[in-house]
Structure 1
Amino acid sequence: MSHLLGIVIESLVAALLLLTIGYCMLLNTRLKRLKADEHSLKATIAELITATEIAERAIGGLKHTVRDVNENLGSQLTAATQMSANLKQQLAECDGVIHRLTRIAIAARPASGPAPVAEPKVSAAKAVAAAAQAFSERRRADGLAA
């Protein structure tokens, strides 16, 4: 009986060793797959890092471009505002010149011609006085009579 008990124990140990070997082989294949996944994961992480660096550089470039455009538009807006004010002033002066020229033309018309619609007939003395007054009202621009 003692030999039989020894054989049973030895065969039980052999069976357990076979199960252990089979389980180790299964773990080995799983570890190989895990290693392969680790390498692909490292490659994916490296690609993500590269893409992130490229995006950061692009964002930096965009910020620089936005700052330049903002400065450029600010200066152009200031110049446009000044030009608009200048044009407005010149238009106002032109209106004044046209008004004065109209008054001079009305005053210079001969008394025998048709009467202007806007004003009644004016005597020669009044026409000369109106022309002199219009002439005296003109501004001087750059030292010359406008």
Structure 2
Amino acid sequence: MTFFVSMAADILVAVLLVATIVSSVKLSQRISKLKADESALRSTIGDLVVASATAERAIAGLRTTLDECDRTLAERLGTAERYAADLSAHVEAGESVINRIAAIVGQARTATAPAAQAPAAAAAPLRPVAIEAPAAGGNGERVGAALAAAQALSERALDRLRARAA
């Protein structure tokens, strides 16, 4: 009987040994897969580090571009404000010229009024209207030319009125 017990124990040990070997092989395969996954994971982490560095450089570039755009926009807004102020000054000068021309036309109408109103017109002496030229710049040359033409027109109108009155 001891022979059977000894044989049964040896068979049990052999079965357990085979089971251990099979488990060891399976664990070895799993460890190999984990090592392969580890290298893939290291590769992925390296790619992520490179991508994050690229993203940081891109963000720095975008910030630089944003600062440049902000500076350019501020310059353009300043230029636009200066042009708006110049345009406003030109409009005011134009309105002044129109008002002076209206005054000249009004004087001309009173000078050519019926004889009943002639003494009142004679009491007010006719005088040329001085037109001031705006500051040079931008459209200042055209405005200056228009002012000179208006001045010449007013002087001719006054000369005609004086000739008629005489």
- Report the TM-score, using the length of structure 1 for normalisation: 0.76
Distance 1:53 1:107, change over 3 A: same
Structure 2 runs not aligned, ≥5 long: 136-143, 149-166
Q: Distance in 2 between matches of 1:38 and 1:20?
A: 26
Confirm or deny that 1:63 pairs with 2:63. yes
Verify: 1:105 aligned to 2:98, yes or no: no
- Cα distance in 1 for residues equivalent to 2:55 and 2:122: 84
Given the superposition, is the C-alpha separation of residues 140 and 16 from structure 1 closer, same or farther in structure 2, using an over 3 Å criterion?
closer
Aligned positions of 1:1-146 closer than 5 A: 1-108=1-108, 111=112, 123-126=121-124, 128=126, 131-132=127-128, 135=129, 138-139=131-132
* Percent identity between the two aligned chains: 31
5+ long unaligned stretches in structure 1: 114-119
Q: Which SS does the other structure have where 1:123 is aligned?
A: helix
What letter matches 1:26 in structure 2?
A: K
Higher relative contact order (CA 8 A, sep 6+): 2
What is the distance in 2 between the residues matched to 1:41 and 1:10? 45
Q: CA RMSD in A?
A: 2.8
Shift, 1:100, TM fit: 0.6
- Compare 97-106 and 48-57 and name the one that shifted more: 97-106
Superposed CA offset, 1:73-126 (max 9, x none): 01110121121012101211110012112212342466179xxxxxx9872443
Structure 1 SS opposite 2:104: helix
TM-score computed with the length of structure 2 as normaliser: 0.68
Change (3 A) 1:76 1:141: closer
The number of equivalent residue pairs is 134
Change (3 A) 1:3 1:82: same
Mapped to 1, the partners of 2:6 and 2:69 lie a distance apart of 92
Change (3 A) 1:5 1:70: same
